[in-house]
Amino acid sequence: MNANKKRSFLSGIPSGGLALLAVVASFIVVFGIGELGEGMKIKNDVVEAIPYIIYGLFIAVCCFFIVRQNPKSIWYVPLICNAVGIIAAIIEPTFWVTSLWMLICGGWVLSIIASIIGNRFGKRSS
């Protein structure tokens, strides 16, 4: 019936692959915005917080869309997407001392909530 309908090249990639693409893209986004923030004349604390807030929102949006496409992937997509933050929490010695942990952990919670919502929307459309 819908033989002429074009499919996106991303629709054929499994959820784990999309999550890895999200990790790479978020890594580029967080460092790109961090470099742009260096030139701004804003307080240093605000300039450091903006990339992590955008990083958390970006990961949450990616988790929502990936899990909505494949609701069974709710168990591993948030873990893969947040791999950079999880590794930073384990390896970086000053992670829990600075206020950085609040932003990163807030992003984790946001991505889990977005994944749950994506799961609900994915089940509904199936």
Answer whether 103's CB lies under 8 Å from 53's CB: yes
Q: Confidence band (pLDDT; 50, 70, 90) for 24?
A: very high
* pLDDT of 81 above 80: yes
Q: Please give the average per-residue pLDDT across 6-33, as a whole number.
A: 82
* pLDDT of 26: 87
Which residue would you say has higher pLDDT here, 118 or 37? 118
* pLDDT of 43 above 80: no
* pLDDT of 63: 94
What whole-number distance in Å separates Cα of residue 108 and Cα of residue 49?
15
* DSSP per-residue letters across 76-109: THHHHHTHHHHHHHHH-TTTTTSTHHHHHHHHHH
* pLDDT of 41: 59
- Tell which residue, 122, 119, 114, has the closest CA to residue 57: 114
- Tell which residue, 50, 64, 52, has the closest CA to residue 22: 64
CB atoms within 10 A of CB 111: 27
* pLDDT of 16: 87
pTM over 0.75: yes
What whole-number distance in Å separates Cα of residue 74 and Cα of residue 21?
16
Predicted confidence (pLDDT) per residue in 50-62, tens digit: 888 888 999 999 9
- Tell which residue, 64, 53, 65, 4, has the closest CA to residue 26: 53
* pLDDT of 76 above 80: yes
* pLDDT of 123: 76
